[in-house]
């Protein structure tokens, strides 16, 4: 069996039994693997945050601190690879999300658990803070 076939069967089984997909399965839909930062788009945003723990970095290309946050996010993704989806969402692609989350400053990071925002971080946020947040989100 190919990897794609195995993944499709695993997703079908998860859908059939009603249980949550693994972080690996959630990332596969986004074309990423555990330990990588995924890229969210308007079309994948709601589905991605709907289950499990997801940390989303709202950013823009013109934002210098966002570039630094990107490097930190890559380290966080490595550290929490099987506990949460770590993703970035470029705000220039959707004003809907800017309004929805009342984004005034960048970078802004939002930690979601099963579609609900648990915590918001504004400005450059340290790796340890984000790792701790993901850990506490995983235990809730």
Query: What is the length of the chain?
Result: 140
Alpha-carbon dihedral angle through residues 44, 47, 48, 51, given to the nearest 10 degrees: 180
Cα 14 from chain centroid (whole Å):
20
Residue 6 among the catalytic residues: no
Round to whole Å and give the CA distance between 108 and 115: 17
Token pair in block for residue 43: 């079309």
CA distances from 79 to 60, 64, 121 (A): 24, 24, 19
Residue 63 among the catalytic residues: yes
Token pair in block for residue 1: 């069996």
Contact 121, 129 (CB under 8 A): yes
Catalytic residues: 63, 66
């Amino acid at each position: 069996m190919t990897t794609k076939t195995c993944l499709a069967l695993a997703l079908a089984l998860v859908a059939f039994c009603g249980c949550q997909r693994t972080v690996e399965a959630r990332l596969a839909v986004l074309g990423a693997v555990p330990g990588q930062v995924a890229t969210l788009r308007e079309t994948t945003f709601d589905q991605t945050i709907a289950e499990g723990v997801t940390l989303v970095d709202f950013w823009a290309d013109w934002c210098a601190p966002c570039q630094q946050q990107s490097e930190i996010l890559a380290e966080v993704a490595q550290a929490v690879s099987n506990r949460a989806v770590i993703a970035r969402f470029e705000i220039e692609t959707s004003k809907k999300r800017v309004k929805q989350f009342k984004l005034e400053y960048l970078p802004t990071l939002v930690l979601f658990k099963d579609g609900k925002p648990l915590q918001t971080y504004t400005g450059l946020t340290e790796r340890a803070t984000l790792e701790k947040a993901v850990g506490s989100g995983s235990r809730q």
